[in-house]
Amino acid sequence: MPGYENPWTIPNMLSMTRIGLAPVLGYLIIEEDFNIALGVFALAGLTDLLDGFIARNWASQKSALGSALDPLADKILISILYVSLTYADLIPVPLTYMIISRDVMLIAAVFYVRYRTLPTPRTLAKYFNPCYATARLKPTFISKVNTAVQLILVAASLAAPVFNYADSIYLQILWCCTAFTTAASAYSYYHYGRKTVQVIKD
pLDDT at 30: 95
Q: How far is CA 155 from CA 15, 25, 54, 152, 202, in A?
A: 19, 12, 24, 5, 43
pLDDT at 154 over 70: yes
Domain membership flag for residue 3: no
Domain membership flag for residue 185: yes
Domain membership flag for residue 40: yes
Domain membership flag for residue 148: yes
The whole-angstrom separation of Cα 99 and Cα 154 is: 12
**Positive or negative torsion for Cα 55, 103, 156, 138:** positive
Q: Tell me which residue range forms the domain holding 178.
A: 10-199
Domain membership flag for residue 5: no
CA 81 to the chain's CA centroid: 11
Within 10 angstroms of residue 145's Cβ, the number of other Cβ atoms is: 14
Q: Tell me the residue type at 130.
A: P
Cis peptide bond N-terminal to 92, omega within 30: no
pLDDT at 80: 93
Choose between 97 and 192: higher pLDDT. Answer: 97
Domain membership flag for residue 36: yes
- On the 0-12 / 13-18 / 19+ scale of CB atoms within 10 A, 143 is buried
Average pLDDT in the chain? 84
Question: Residue 105 — pLDDT band, cuts 50, 70, 90?
Answer: confident
pLDDT at 200: 62
Q: What is the mean pLDDT of residues 112-130?
A: 78
pLDDT at 166 over 90: no
Percent of the chain with pLDDT over 70: 87
The whole-angstrom separation of Cα 149 and Cα 153 is: 6
pLDDT at 107: 80
Domain membership flag for residue 154: yes
Structural element, H or E, at residue 3: strand 3-4
The whole-angstrom separation of Cα 152 and Cα 82 is: 12
Domain membership flag for residue 123: yes
Tally of domains in the chain: 1
Q: pTM for this structure?
A: 0.80
pLDDT at 1 over 50: no
